């Protein structure tokens, strides 16, 4: 796992690449790659590529980046892991390609030479990379199907810049910090900034499953090569099929095996939930002998249902792991808060949990850890899988009656301001609840669109809503129609909540501790195994198929445990620090605002 950066002065009117700017961008990402760094500049000074390295596969200096092909025709800077690189290497060797390293990076170079843009269809992994094609005088960039790894860019009409972090691009000093209204509106609505926006007008995030080419004429529009909605739609067209326990087990085991490929030890985050526990069991089934697991514990949770330590320790004993329970205190939270906000690349209402468990993993000497992230999206573990379809059915007809929804919202909003007894979302049920985008926004939203002019600049709110068009944004994520209620919610949760919040938070929080987090349940091949059986998965429910996949199944106490999520007692801790900052800047009182909404205010004002 690494940090990548580049500057391409494609227009002759642009000044040559400023290598000091490029180094500033690269070295802002030092924690993403503390094991080494490199740079490359073209002979004409129009292109510079840079890299920070966290060595995971082929630890030798031969695998350092930027890496050039043997003939010098292409140069790559790459962040991520290609889990099927060994199979791809064998195929390329059969076609006559010769390798100088044992790295997956070199596979990218030869695969590009062999297939060009089509190479992305062969890759299984998490990645963001840029390849310079000397013959075509073009820069080719790609981001993995789920968007596990970030790739930000800015094009001012003369020069194209890219990096793994927004703050790294800003560290170069050449990009304006003018705010992007759509990014801020998206943050207040969703709790995270929705791609392709950032909170800066001139910086964009390459959408997941997209490539982009930059020629001597500038950057072209991103081109999609993968769509979650389209993948599920194709599975639905093939017809609903049944899926058995053994098929689920083999598909999961295959994904875990691929995600264990590394030249350093691979540990795991372990909670009291099904997802992480099942993955640890499958790691053992895949043949990993030594497994280091880590769990967070908090004094505030001791003896309560929220305390995951006792059950996690039980799972660790079951699978024979080298287990560590890391206690996080309120004082540590306050001490770390400035560092958390500095590492937080874009504002978010989450990520604190991943910060501390990644910190704990780093303290144990781990460079790689397996996470159960993605299990709820794949197996329907969220309440949204129940609530959103129910709301669509219940409010479908009333929402179609002209004027009823807006009138009800207007009335209930005003009544609730005088006598706040309902959630602000309740006012929008008739207007929004009858459609899939509207119902999902009600279920997942932090603030609602009609509240924004009370909490941010009105003109910015209006500009942001017009540019983002939130309901349209949600609708596009599920286009084409995934085909079933279960698949629709799965796509929305994966393409919006998981991608923009969970995966992004995992990236910044883990890389701040030089830790690579791998997510076997967020895998294109795994999705393709399951998508035509989504209806059947819905009927089975409760993630039992995942829980029973290890040869030694999880304890019943884990399987039957009520879902709590990966939480920290931040609500209690924040009262001394964050709440004061929020109260000083917010226009609403803490007493009238749920916790997640207070946190949204806090991050916006402090980051």
**263 touches 252 (CB < 8 A):** no
Q: Give the strands of the sheet with 516-518, arranged side by side.
A: 322-327, 292-297, 266-269, 368-370, 516-518
Helix (H, G, I), strand (E, B) or coil at 510: helix
Percentage of the chain beyond pLDDT 90 is 77
Reported confidence tier of residue 405, pLDDT bands at 50, 70, 90:
confident
For the segment 324-336, the average pLDDT, to the nearest whole number, is 94
Indicate whether 591 pLDDT > 70. no
Check residue 422 and give its pLDDT. 72
Residue pLDDT, tens place only, 9-48:
999 999 999 999 999 999 999 999 999 999 999 999 999 9
Residue 577 has a pLDDT of: 45
Domains and their CATH numbers in the chain: 2-225 (3.60.20.10), 230-379+487-567 (3.40.50.620), 384-485 (no CATH), 574-607 (no CATH)
Q: In the structure encoding, which two tokens stand for residue 436, read together?
A: 């899939």
Placement of tokens 């509207």 in the chain: 438
DSSP lists the bridge partners of residue 154 as 161
**pLDDT of the residue at 217:** 96
Distance CA 311, CA 307 (A): 9
- 121-180: per-residue pLDDT in tens? 999 999 999 999 999 999 999 999 999 999 999 999 999 999 999 999 999 999 999 999
Are the CB atoms for 465 and 417 separated by under 8 Å?
Answer: no
- For the record, the structure tokens of 303 come out as 């003896």
pLDDT at position 579: 41
Q: What integer is the mean pLDDT of 522-545? A: 76
Query: Pairing state of beta strands 47-53 and 2-8?
Result: antiparallel
Question: What pLDDT score was predicted for residue 47?
Answer: 98
Helix, strand or coil, per DSSP, at residue 178: coil
φ, ψ dihedrals at 542, nearest 5°: 60, 15
Strands (E), 45-165: 47-53, 67-68, 74-82, 125-133, 138-143, 152-155, 160-163
Mean pLDDT of 570-594: 45
State residue 542's pLDDT score: 60
Give the angle 344-492-411 at the CA atoms, nearest 5°. Answer: 90
Does residue 590 surpass a pLDDT of 60? no
Higher pLDDT, 558 or 605: 558
pLDDT at 514 over 50: yes
pLDDT of residue 36: 96
| Top-confidence residue, 243 or 367 | 367
pLDDT category at 566 given cuts 50, 70, 90 is: low
Query: Do β-strands 218-219 and 152-155 pair in parallel, antiparallel, or remain unpaired?
Result: unpaired
Q: What is the pLDDT of residue 580?
A: 43
Crossing angle (nearest 10°) for helices 384-400 and 436-444: 130
CB atoms within 10 A of CB 229: 22
**How confident is the model at residue 564, as a pLDDT?**
64
Q: Residues for the chain: how many in total?
A: 607
Q: Helix/strand/coil (H, E, C) string of 228-249?
A: HHHHHHHHHHCCCCCCCHHHHH
How many Cα atoms occupy the beta-carbon half-sphere of 113 within 13 Å? 21
Mean pLDDT for 537-544 is 63
Strands (E), 232-340: 266-269, 292-297, 322-327
| 290 band by pLDDT with thresholds 50, 70 and 90 | very high
pLDDT in tens, 191-229: 999 999 999 999 999 999 999 999 999 999 999 999 999
pLDDT value of residue 538: 56
**75-89, 411-425, 491-505, 575-589: the lowest-pLDDT one:** 575-589
Q: Which residue has the higher pLDDT, 381 or 584?
A: 381
Which class for 419: exposed (0-12), middle (13-18), buried (19 or more C-beta within 10 A)? exposed
Answer whether residue 368 shows pLDDT above 60. Answer: yes
Distance CA 197, CA 189 (A): 14
Query: CB burial class (10 A; 0-12, 13-18, 19+) of residue 101?
Result: middle
Comparing CA positions, the residue from 321, 264, 323 lying closest to residue 297 is 323
Q: What is the pLDDT of residue 85?
A: 98
> What distances in angstroms separate CA 419 from CA 180, 415, 427, 431, one per listed residue?
35, 6, 13, 21
Strands (E), 448-554: 516-518
Of the listed ranges 485-494, 512-521, 571-580, 593-602, the one predicted with least confidence: 593-602
With bands split at pLDDT 50, 70 and 90, how would you rate the model's confidence at 424?
A: confident
CB 600 within 8 A of CB 588: no
Digit-coded pLDDT (tens) for 47-104? 999 999 999 999 999 999 999 999 999 999 999 999 999 999 999 999 999 999 999 9
Model-wide pTM > 0.75:
yes
Per-residue pLDDT band for 105 (boundaries 50, 70, 90) equals: very high
Token pair 């929004």 is at which residue?
432
* DSSP-based three-state secondary structure for 80: strand
pLDDT digits (tens, 9 = 90+) for 225-269: 999 999 999 887 766 667 888 999 999 999 999 999 999 999 999
Give the integer Cα–Cα distance in Å for 430 and 394: 9
Phi, psi of 438 (to 5 degrees): -65, -45
Select from 336, 347, 346 the least CA-distant residue to 165.
Answer: 346
Q: Give the pLDDT confidence score for residue 307 in this predicted structure.
A: 86
How many CA atoms lie within 13 Å of 132's alpha carbon, on the beta-carbon side? 29
């Amino acid at each position: 796992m690494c940090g990548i950066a580049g500057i391409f002065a494609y227009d002759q009117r642009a000044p040559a690449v400023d290598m000091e700017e490029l180094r500033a961008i690269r070295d802002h990402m030092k924690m993403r790659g503390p094991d080494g760094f490199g740079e490359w500049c073209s002979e004409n000074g129009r292109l510079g590529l840079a890299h920070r390295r966290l060595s995971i596969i082929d630890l030798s200096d031969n695998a350092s980046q930027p890496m050039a092909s043997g003939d010098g025709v292409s140069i790559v800077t790459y962040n991520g892991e290609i889990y099927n690189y060994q199979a791809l290497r064998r195929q390329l060797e059969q076609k006559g390609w010769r390798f100088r390293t044992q790295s997956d990076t070199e596979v990218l170079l030869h695969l590009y030479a062999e297939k060009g843009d089509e190479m992305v269809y062969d890759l299984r992994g998490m990645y963001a990379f840029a390849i310079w094609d000397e013959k075509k005088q073009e820069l080719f960039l790609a981001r993995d199907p789920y968007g596990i790894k970030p790739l930000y860019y800015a094009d001012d009409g003369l020069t194209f810049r890219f990096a793994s972090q927004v703050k790294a691009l800003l560290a170069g000093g050449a990009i304006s910090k003018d705010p992007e209204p759509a990014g801020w509106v998206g943050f207040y609505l969703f709790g995270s900034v929705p791609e392709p926006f950032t909170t800066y007008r001139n910086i964009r995030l390459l959408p997941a499953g997209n490539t982009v080419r930059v020629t001597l004429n500038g950057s072209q529009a991103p081109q999609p090569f993968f769509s979650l909605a389209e993948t599920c739609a194709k599975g639905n067209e093939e017809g609903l099929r049944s899926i058995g326990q053994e098929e689920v087990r083999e598909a999961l085991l295959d994904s875990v095996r691929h995600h264990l490929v590394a030249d350093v030890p691979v540990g795991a985050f372990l909670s009291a939930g099904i997802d992480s526990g099942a993955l640890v069991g499958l790691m053992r089934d895949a043949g990993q002998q030594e497994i280091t697991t880590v769990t967070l514990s908090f004094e505030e949770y001791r003896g309560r249902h929220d305390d995951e330590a006792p059950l996690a320790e039980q799972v660790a004993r079951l699978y024979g792991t080298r287990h560590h329970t890391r206690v996080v205190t309120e004082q540590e939270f306050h001490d770390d808060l400035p560092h958390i906000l500095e590492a937080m690349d874009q504002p978010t209402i989450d990520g604190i949990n991943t910060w501390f468990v990644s910190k704990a993993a780093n303290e144990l000497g781990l460079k790689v850890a397996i996470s159960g992230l993605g299990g709820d999206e794949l197996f329907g573990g969220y309440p949204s899988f129940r609530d959103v379809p129910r709301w669509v059915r219940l409010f479908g007809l009333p929402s179609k009656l002209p004027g009823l929804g807006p009138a009800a919202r207007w009335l209930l909003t005003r009544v609730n301001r005088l006598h706040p007894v309902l959630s602000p979302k309740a006012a929008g049920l008739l207007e929004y609840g009858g459609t899939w985008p509207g119902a999902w926004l009600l279920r997942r939203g932090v603030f609602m669109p009609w509240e924004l002019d009370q909490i941010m600049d009105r003109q910015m709110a209006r500009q942001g809503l017009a540019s983002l068009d939130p309901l349209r944004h949600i609708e596009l994520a599920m286009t084409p129609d995934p085909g079933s209620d279960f698949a629709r919610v799965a796509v929305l949760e994966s393409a919006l909540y998981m991608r923009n919040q969970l995966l992004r938070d995992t990236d910044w929080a883990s890389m701040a501790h030089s830790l690579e987090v791998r997510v076997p349940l967020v895998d294109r091949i795994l999705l393709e195994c399951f998508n035509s059986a989504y209806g059947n998965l819905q009927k089975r429910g409760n993630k039992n198929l995942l829980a029973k996949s290890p040869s030694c199944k999880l304890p019943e106490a884990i399987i039957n445990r009520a879902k709590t999520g990966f939480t920290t007692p931040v609500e209690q801790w924040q009262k001394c620090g964050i709440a004061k900052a929020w109260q000083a800047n917010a226009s609403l009182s803490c007493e009238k605002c749920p916790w997640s909404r207070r946190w949204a205010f806090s991050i916006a004002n402090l980051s």
